[in-house]
Structure 1
Amino acid sequence: MHARFRMRLGFCQGSILLILALSGCARHQADVLGDRASTVEVSVLSMAPQKLVERTELSGRLSALNVADVRPQISGIVQKRLFTEGSEVSAGQPLYQIDPAMYQATYDQARGVLAKAEAMLSDAKTKSSRFAELVKINGVSKQDYDDAVAVVNEDRADVLADRASLETARINLGYTRITSPISGQIGVSSVTAGALVTAEQTTALATVQAIDHMYLDVTRPSVNWLRLRKEFNTGHLKQSGNQGATVHIVMEDGSDYPQPGTLAFSDITVDQTTGSVTLRVVVPNPEHELLPGMFVRAELDEGVDEQAMLVPQLAVTRTPDGQATVWLAGADGKAHQAPVRADRAYGDRWIISQGLKAGDRVVTSGAGQLQDGAPVKVTDTQASNAPAAGSAAAHG
């Protein structure tokens, strides 16, 4: 009986040990499977500083460097037009002829009045000189001599006034031939021969525009202007050239204009309604390919960032309060979420100004399954290469 009891007890103990062994194996296998299930496979971008040109794209309309409206300075009838519409004209070139008959008569009359005044002055001077000798021997009274001197002064004043009248008449006679105030291309004439024009009219007879160089006025937010000034002052950005910002022009049809422009100046006043600053660009136009009023795009190379950090836009997420974050694959094999500053786009990437350093591995795919501290397995590592040239713009 004791032997049978010992056999049953041994059998029970063996069964318990087998159950415990099988249970331990199951738990171990579950732990292994669980670890494998929680590890996320990701692709990463290894960060490295890059050199890129800060470029901003703005739009605007072209205007001529010099514009002059041709208007009459006297009234009269237009006798003839002396130019071909749309042609090149030079400064001082006659454009219109106004009937000069009345102004010629006024000029001739002024010449006669002046000649008469000069003759009277000459006679008064002779009489005054004669009285000057006679008054010494009491041949005339002192009063007569004083009167003669006064007449000389009056006649001299009349001569000065008549000379001014003659000069006015000469100027008005010259205005009967209307000339071009500047060199450039002249547009459509608003009058023909026989038309009456007046000195007070507001309608220009024609407009001359100098288009060998063109102005392009564009605007940009003042906050961007302040950011650029700060980055230049701190050395984060450097001028892209000795001449300052250069400008690349893109035509309305998307083609590139071959002549580069230069940034001439920026306005010193911020528009109170738009909060923007006006920038003026000067563009060479030797072939007259550009026309006033044409709409173009201007790409401004504002500076060079020697230590730019770029990440794909899809790798950056934002919290409900707007904070930009990226996922990093740490050296410990775990994922970590890092806050960054991504306020400017460059092509299809964000420029990261804060939060990343060289060597950081930014998760570019698989981030949707990550949790902070979760194990990750890097399956693909890409180097941070410079993207194609793009425009840097503030995120808003």
Structure 2
Amino acid sequence: MIINIIKSKVGRYGLGILLIYFLVSLFLVRISKSSNSRALKNSTSFLTKPLSFALPSSSDQTEDENTQDLLSVLAMTVEVESITPTVEASGMVDFMEKVDVYSKVPGRIEKTYFKEGEDVSQGQKLFKMETMPLELELLKQESTMESSRSQVKLAREKYFKAKGNVLGRIQEHEKTISIQEKARQEYEKAKVSFVGIEEIYNAGGFSREEFENAKLNLNSKETAYQLAERDVEIRSIGLTDKDILRNNHKIPETKEERIKILEEINSLIEKAEWEVAEGVLKAHEAQVNSTKMMLKESLVFSPLNGVVAKQFKNEGEILSSSGPGQHVLSVINVRQVFAVLNIPESESIDLKKGMRVSFTADVHKDQKFSGVVQLVSPVIDQKSHTVEIKALVDNKAKLLKPGMFIRANITTGQEKPTIRIPSTAVLLNENGSTGIVCLVRDGKGYRNEVKLGPQSEGKIIVTEGLSNGDTILLERISQIRDGVSVNPLFDKR
């Protein structure tokens, strides 16, 4: 029968009208729910009475409206509290001083005076290198040095002897000049005498033999004069004005100055030999002193007060040099350590040297440690955008060991009134420095922008946008529109 009605024309029209009525009714119900018009709500209720079996009743709508108007949400009252501004960070413990101890003397480790992990004091013996090869080398060098010292003495004596000989040479030179002058005079006299004899001989007054004897005497005097001249030339080598000028000296005005200059220029070779001998002696002395220093350095002492952190070489092992991989042990100072922290650059602006740092180590959770900032790095790490700081910490009890993980708070200022709210009560903007909170006024929620500061322990500081006594919602912030009625439920925790 139902199929026959559907197939009939009247039946189809009737079904179409019912479908349109049903759809219009649904549309009116939805509009009335979102509208505050009471007339619209009443009209909708009247028109949809025939469909009350399928649509919510007016009482149900009223119930829904009341539920919407009284949306229950967790809330809190904003209170101003006195807070000391701090920056939170994590980091690690690092040693203040570390020294890798080498030996300046290559060779075999003869003896060690330490054990790994034990305390050592500055100046304490650590190890000793084998010294026999150096001691033998020192004996050879000292022998060579003594020989060089004898050479210096000999060269020095030769120098002073050469200077002393100059005065004798000057006297000999003056003597040869006198002999030359005498020989010249005798030669001149012989020439005059020979001229007279020659005239008389030509006149027949002298015999041929007498003439030849006179001529022979003249030649003898001439030869003696020439030999005297040559002797003067030989004796004057190094003693003339030319020699003085050639050695970059001025012609002296007095005899004493001349003698000094002549002594100097006539003993240059001996002086150079003396200087060379002294240079060789100094070189040998340097070798001896170097070997003695190496013998002294063969015994190695601790450069600081600390702990032997690691032993790399044992007795009997060979050290080829003091280069990489040749250190014998590492000594670290653990009586004072550094707390090394990496602070985000946005929070590093107020950090200064001298600020207090308090921290805990994961392995000593019940104990608090403190230190003072010694270094704020002037460079920001480009990868992590953090600033490294180092705080000096007393560690006399040696509870802190390099490499320990720590969690720290850095006090950056004096105690001041501050508003802190749970981080979940804020919708952060993209820049992270501002956000949205939901204020409750007259039973309705309103979105409000705030400026934010650092956050820690699940709470965030609000610098602007909230006042003492304000009520804010703690949840469903993104779902609430301005003006929505809410029922704030205050968290008692």
The TM-score, its normalising length taken from structure 1, stands at 0.73
Q: Does 1:167 align with 2:289?
A: yes
Q: Does 1:216 align with 2:327?
A: no
Deviation at 1:365, TM superposition (A): 7.5
Q: What CA deviation, in whole Å up to 9, does each residue of 1:158-212 have, x standing for no partner?
A: 2222222112111222232222232211134333332222215532211111111
CA distance in 1, matches of 2:479, 2:341: 45
SS at match of 1:111: helix
- Which position in structure 2 is the counterpart of 1:66? 97
Work out whether residues 46 and 381 of structure 1, in 8 Å CA contact, stay in contact via their aligned partners in 2: no
CA distance in 2, matches of 1:277, 1:72: 37
Q: For 1:115, which of 122, 133, 146 is the aligned residue?
A: 146
SS at match of 1:290: coil
Q: Does 1:196 align with 2:318?
A: yes
- Which position in structure 2 is the counterpart of 1:329? 440
| Aligned positions of 1:297-312 closer than 5 A | 297-304=407-414, 306-312=416-422
Work out whether residues 72 and 198 of structure 1, in 8 Å CA contact, stay in contact via their aligned partners in 2: no
Work out whether residues 248 and 257 of structure 1, in 8 Å CA contact, stay in contact via their aligned partners in 2: no
Deviation at 1:311, TM superposition (A): 2.0
Work out whether residues 138 and 291 of structure 2, in 8 Å CA contact, stay in contact via their aligned partners in 1: yes
Q: Does 1:280 align with 2:390?
A: yes
Point out the structure with max Rg over C-alpha: 2
- Which position in structure 2 is the counterpart of 1:80? 111
Work out whether residues 218 and 279 of structure 1, in 8 Å CA contact, stay in contact via their aligned partners in 2: yes
- Which position in structure 2 is the counterpart of 1:347? 457
Q: 5+ residue gaps in structure 2?
A: 1-41, 43-58, 173-237, 239-262
Q: Does 1:99 align with 2:221?
A: no
SS at match of 2:466: coil
Work out whether residues 427 and 435 of structure 2, in 8 Å CA contact, stay in contact via their aligned partners in 1: yes
CA distance in 1, matches of 2:403, 2:72: 56
| Aligned positions of 1:120-139 closer than 5 A | 120-138=151-169
- The amino acid across from 1:326 in the alignment is V
- Which position in structure 1 is the counterpart of 2:205? none
Q: Does 1:313 align with 2:423?
A: yes
- Which position in structure 1 is the counterpart of 2:31? none
- Which position in structure 2 is the counterpart of 1:3? none
Q: What CA deviation, in whole Å up to 9, does each residue of 1:300-345 have, x standing for no partner?
A: 2233462422223343346899873222233x55442212234632
CA distance in 2, matches of 1:245, 1:351: 21
CA distance in 1, matches of 2:95, 2:361: 16
The verdict on how the C-alpha distance between 1:356 and 1:148 changes in structure 2, with shifts beyond 3 A counting, is: same
- Which position in structure 1 is the counterpart of 2:330? 207
Q: What CA deviation, in whole Å up to 9, does each residue of 1:49-103 have, x standing for no partner?
A: 3321233333333222111112222221222212233222223322222220110
Deviation at 1:282, TM superposition (A): 1.6
The verdict on how the C-alpha distance between 1:190 and 1:42 changes in structure 2, with shifts beyond 3 A counting, is: closer
Work out whether residues 334 and 376 of structure 1, in 8 Å CA contact, stay in contact via their aligned partners in 2: yes
CA distance in 2, matches of 1:202, 1:276: 32
Q: For 2:305, which of 178, 183, 198 is the aligned residue?
A: 183
SS at match of 2:163: helix
Q: What CA deviation, in whole Å up to 9, does each residue of 1:99-145 have, x standing for no partner?
A: 20110122222222222222322232233223323312317976752
Work out whether residues 333 and 376 of structure 1, in 8 Å CA contact, stay in contact via their aligned partners in 2: yes
CA distance in 2, matches of 1:381, 1:79: 75
CA distance in 2, matches of 1:216, 1:321: 31
Q: What CA deviation, in whole Å up to 9, does each residue of 1:206-234 have, x standing for no partner?
A: 11111111123222232332xx44xx8xx
- Which position in structure 2 is the counterpart of 1:338? 448
Deviation at 1:156, TM superposition (A): 1.9
Work out whether residues 374 and 390 of structure 2, in 8 Å CA contact, stay in contact via their aligned partners in 1: yes
The verdict on how the C-alpha distance between 1:212 and 1:160 changes in structure 2, with shifts beyond 3 A counting, is: same
SS at match of 1:248: strand
% identity of equivalent residues: 19
- Which position in structure 2 is the counterpart of 1:47? 78
Supply the RMSD in Å over aligned alpha carbons: 3.6
Q: 5+ residue gaps in structure 1?
A: 1-22, 24-29, 233-238, 388-396
SS at match of 2:279: helix
The verdict on how the C-alpha distance between 1:190 and 1:267 changes in structure 2, with shifts beyond 3 A counting, is: same
- Which position in structure 2 is the counterpart of 1:6? none
The TM-score, its normalising length taken from structure 2, stands at 0.60
Work out whether residues 51 and 304 of structure 1, in 8 Å CA contact, stay in contact via their aligned partners in 2: no
Deviation at 1:251, TM superposition (A): 1.6
Deviation at 1:260, TM superposition (A): 1.0
- The amino acid across from 1:96 in the alignment is F
CA distance in 2, matches of 1:258, 1:369: 43
CA distance in 1, matches of 2:115, 2:491: 69
- The amino acid across from 2:296 in the alignment is G
CA distance in 1, matches of 2:389, 2:313: 37
- The amino acid across from 1:271 in the alignment is D
CA distance in 2, matches of 1:318, 1:86: 51
Work out whether residues 41 and 366 of structure 1, in 8 Å CA contact, stay in contact via their aligned partners in 2: no
The verdict on how the C-alpha distance between 1:306 and 1:126 changes in structure 2, with shifts beyond 3 A counting, is: same
CA distance in 2, matches of 1:186, 1:154: 50
The verdict on how the C-alpha distance between 1:257 and 1:116 changes in structure 2, with shifts beyond 3 A counting, is: farther
How many residue pairs get aligned? The number is 341
- Which position in structure 1 is the counterpart of 2:180? none
The verdict on how the C-alpha distance between 1:208 and 1:155 changes in structure 2, with shifts beyond 3 A counting, is: same
